[in-house]
Amino acid sequence: MNYHFFVGNDNGNSEHDLIIDGHLIQQPNVNCRVDELPWSEEQAPESFVKHLQDQLVVTIDSPAARPGMYYVGKFALESGEIIDTIQIGIDSKSDMDLPIINTLAQIAAVAVQKAVEEEKAIPAQIDVEVDMATALPVTQHTDETSAKFERRFTSGMHHVTVHLGVKRVAVNLVFPFVKVVPEATPVIFALQKDAAGNWREGEIFADFTAAYGIDKKFNGSYFKDKRILHVDIGDGSTEYPITEGNKFLRQFIHGSHHGAGYAIEEALQEFNRLIHLPDSPRQFFSDVIKNPKHKYHARALKTLRRPLESQVKQIVQHVKKQLTKARNEIDVICVYGGGSIVMRSVLYPYLKETCDEREIKLLYIPADDAVQLNAAGLDAFVRGKIYEALKGKAEQPA
């Protein structure tokens, strides 16, 4: 069986958000290397397919990563095994195996699901050709690091065995072309157009139009010529690039090692003490914060408030630094990313005051869209004319 997938791949420090063949996948960005399959009794292989992302076990044989068997995402996080994560402020994503392994695993899983859905049977082998756009933090993105990260995907065939209980499916992945861009910059594509390629409209802009009394017919065409200062708040870094229309302004590259993850690391010890655990990973705390119904939610929020304020103040300082550098010639400050959700109640008033003083509009993306905006932007980019032109140029003989 042969497939061709377009993939927009946002390898976050805490969460992995990908749009593969039009399907959004969101998983904790963790894995763990193991020696054997977790299932002893035989379960029907078909029973694994529907929720494959939540019980993903793969064996990787790739020129770009350490070979072995891995639990990936939620299954790794809940396994009780020692998990591998991206160390915020320390690890360089272009050097790590984790983003490679998790990306290969998620693409292979979608290929298996698609094959079973179409053929109503589990295939022995699937071959997939992948066009992919992914990103590195602005602070890590150089010509050298992006080329290195691209090569790790394009340098050969990747063999992924997806385990459906004791049944195996061999998935061979090749990446003829991959483009690595600075994080946050593809979001401009997602702000303007929806997945169908129409001007974006709806709930994502509801607070914005209400705050500024803008016409209800408002849509993404508003941003096509605007100068936007992006504030993309992740776990381990915040990016502050400036775009004009669809152009990324290189003279304003800026990122800082601030984010929700630092606040969580600071709060984690006190949180663990309050819930009588000797230890728990950052991703567990993130899950508790995201779930208001979790029994520990109130305690997590309580321990997070003070460390969060300290991170917010740092982020506001960096925003002001970028505004000064741009002589306040910014139309919109756009805030998104996983970290923006937990920070909203503290950060919004600071930024609104800054924007009002300088006659700039503030677009604070709602929680439902904040995390997946990067993946949506990368997906729009990989399907667009710029990617096509770059790929065509790369394929021409030197």
pLDDT at 57: 97
Which class for 368: exposed (0-12), middle (13-18), buried (19 or more C-beta within 10 A)? exposed
pLDDT at 90: 64
Which class for 18: exposed (0-12), middle (13-18), buried (19 or more C-beta within 10 A)? buried
Predicted confidence (pLDDT) per residue in 49-78, tens digit: 999 999 999 999 999 999 999 999 999 999
Average pLDDT for the chain: 92
**C-alpha–C-alpha distance, residues 92 and 148, integer Å:** 12
**C-alpha–C-alpha distance, residues 310 and 314, integer Å:** 7
Please count the residues of the chain. 398
- pLDDT score of 282 more than 80: no
pLDDT at 248: 83
- What the chain holds in terms of domains, given with CATH numbers, is 2-182 (3.30.420.40), 196-375 (3.30.420.40)
φ, ψ dihedrals at 86, nearest 5° = -90, 120
